[in-house]
Amino acid sequence: EIVLTQSPTTMAASPGEKVTITCRARSSVSYMHWYQQKPGASPKPWIYDTSKLASGVPNRFSGSGSGTSYSLTISSMETEDTATYYCQQWSSNSLTFGSGTKLEIK
Partner 1 sequence: EVQLVESGGGLVQPGRSLKLSCLASGFTFSNYGMNWIRQAPGKGLEWVASISSSSSYIYYADTVKGRFTISRDNAKNTLYLQMTSLMSEDTALYYCARRGLRSYFDYWGQGVMVTVSS
Per CB under 8 A, the segment of 14-22, 27-35, 61-69, 72-80 that binds partner 1 is 27-35
Q: Which is nearer to partner 1, 66 or 76 (CB)?
A: 66
Is 94 in contact with 3 (CB distance < 8 Å)? no
By CB under 8 A, residue 70 contacts partner 1: no
Per CB under 8 A, the segment of 20-28, 45-53, 56-64, 69-77 that binds partner 1 is 45-53
Query: How many CB atoms within 10 Å of residue 76?
Result: 13
- Chain contacts with partner 1 (rule: CB under 8 A): 1, 31, 33, 35, 37, 42-45, 48-49, 52, 54, 86, 88, 90, 93-100
